[in-house]
């Protein structure tokens, strides 16, 4: 059992999760919900509140006992399903964590190729971010979580400032009116939002390194409020400025909107601040999935520590990120048609099944 000083708090773990949520929210969500939900697509996060709140209660139920509070989600799966079925499910989870890791590495490179340095070799960005991640993983999750905790407030302030600077450009006709005819399109748009938020479950694969898990419900509900507000701001900012018909055709719609910001008609190209912030959130996302994958492997192979797994995971991320798709458009189709439904299965459906079976077997 790890000493308390070798763990992070549930507050830090929640901030870690919230940071990675900004990657897909900024990168892809506006164009997807604009296409599906049209003018009312900006309301998608409101319709995601109920299922995400249910997930928070499910995760809290999995870690409700003091004894179980010292376990990771991998160990909870073993307790609930048994060694054989638990191993099978963890192997599937491991494959998905590694795939997600490669996806975020590739998206990091694609984002900078598309927005800043289009003539730079893709592997330059891949190698650069993975070198930073390799160094960070060596320090352990405590140092990464503390760094993200420090940067979380600053990044949130940047998001709010960017929104306020965009307010003069927002045209209310792009957002309203919303009628009962829009309910079904909003529900369909919230499906993609739900797929993003499902990563909350993956946080607890390194749950043995998280203190105070009896407060999962408290911080989970706070995360619900934060995600709803921030996602609403970003969607209003993008759809409200250019309208759903334009945003649905732009893959990097947020940076497209940011480029239109002018402060006192003198400071142009303020998007450089947003791009610098993206380095932080991609660092958070890539390190998050690396930690989750290594934690699963540690449980599967009964290892005492994870440092020996860092090099294999980084090498896999580099290779897989180069071959997962031929271009950015294939990546976006993968996110839309494969990543989203599988994230819902791994993040929402499986935890519920684990809880039900664990209760039936009186293991949880």
DSSP letters, 80-137, are HH-HHHHHHHHHHHHHHHHHHHHHHHHHHHHHHHHHT-TTS-HHHHHHHHHHHHHHHH
Distance CA 116, CA 45 (A): 30
Distance CA 363, CA 81 (A): 9
Write the pLDDT tens digit of every residue in 182-203: 999 999 999 999 999 999 999 9
Sign of torsion, CA 296 302 304 310? negative
Pairing relation of β-strands 8-9 and 210-211? parallel
Domains of the chain: 4-356 (1.20.1740.10)
List the structure tokens of 46.
Answer: 């409101």
Query: Is the bond preceding 242 in cis, omega lying within 30 degrees of 0?
Result: no
Distance CA 248, CA 141 (A): 37
Q: What pLDDT, on the 0 to 100 scale, is given for residue 165?
A: 87
By mean pLDDT, which of 2-16, 104-118, 277-291, 311-325 is the weakest? 104-118
Q: What pLDDT, on the 0 to 100 scale, is given for residue 264?
A: 46
Average pLDDT over residues 209-213: 91
């Amino acid at each position: 059992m790890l000493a308390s000083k070798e763990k992070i708090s549930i507050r830090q773990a929640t901030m870690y999760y919230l940071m990675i949520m900004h990657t897909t929210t900024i990168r892809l969500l506006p164009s997807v919900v604009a296409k599906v939900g049209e003018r009312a697509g900006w309301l998608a996060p409101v319709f995601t509140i109920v299922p995400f709140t249910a997930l928070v209660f499910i995760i809290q139920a999995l870690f409700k006992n003091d004894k179980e509070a010292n376990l990771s989600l991998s160990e909870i799966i073993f307790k609930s399903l048994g060694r054989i079925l638990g191993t099978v499910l963890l192997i599937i989870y491991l494959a998905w964590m590694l795939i997600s890791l490669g996806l975020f590495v590739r998206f990091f490179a694609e984002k900078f190729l598309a927005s800043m340095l289009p003539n730079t070799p893709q592997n330059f960005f891949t190698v650069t971010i993975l070198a930073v991640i390799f160094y960070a993983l060596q320090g352990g999750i405590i140092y990464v979580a503390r760094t993200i905790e420090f940067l979380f407030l600053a990044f949130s302030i940047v998001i709010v400032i960017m929104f306020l600077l965009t307010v003069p450009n927002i045209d209310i006709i792009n957002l309203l009116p919303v009628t009962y005819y829009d309910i079904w399109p909003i529900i369909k748009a919230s499906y993609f939002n739900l797929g993003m938020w499902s990563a909350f479950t993956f946080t607890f694969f390194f749950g043995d390194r998280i203190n105070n898990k009896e407060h999962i419900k408290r911080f989970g509900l706070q995360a619900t409020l934060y995600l709803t507000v921030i996602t609403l701001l970003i969607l209003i900012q993008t759809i409200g400025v250019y309208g759903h018909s334009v945003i649905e055709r732009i893959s990097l719609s947020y940076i497209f909107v940011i480029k239109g910001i002018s402060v006192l008609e003198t400071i142009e190209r303020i998007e450089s601040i947003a791009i610098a912030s993206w380095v932080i959130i991609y660092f958070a996302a890539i390190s998050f999935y690396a930690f989750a994958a290594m934690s699963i492997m540690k449980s599967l192979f009964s290892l005492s520590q994870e440092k020996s797994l860092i090099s294999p995971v980084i090498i896999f991320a580099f290779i897989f990120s180069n071959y997962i798709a031929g271009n950015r458009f294939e990546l976006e189709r993968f996110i839309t048609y494969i990543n989203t439904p599988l994230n819902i299965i791994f993040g929402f459906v499986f935890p519920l099944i684990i809880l039900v079976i664990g209760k039936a077997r009186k293991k949880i």
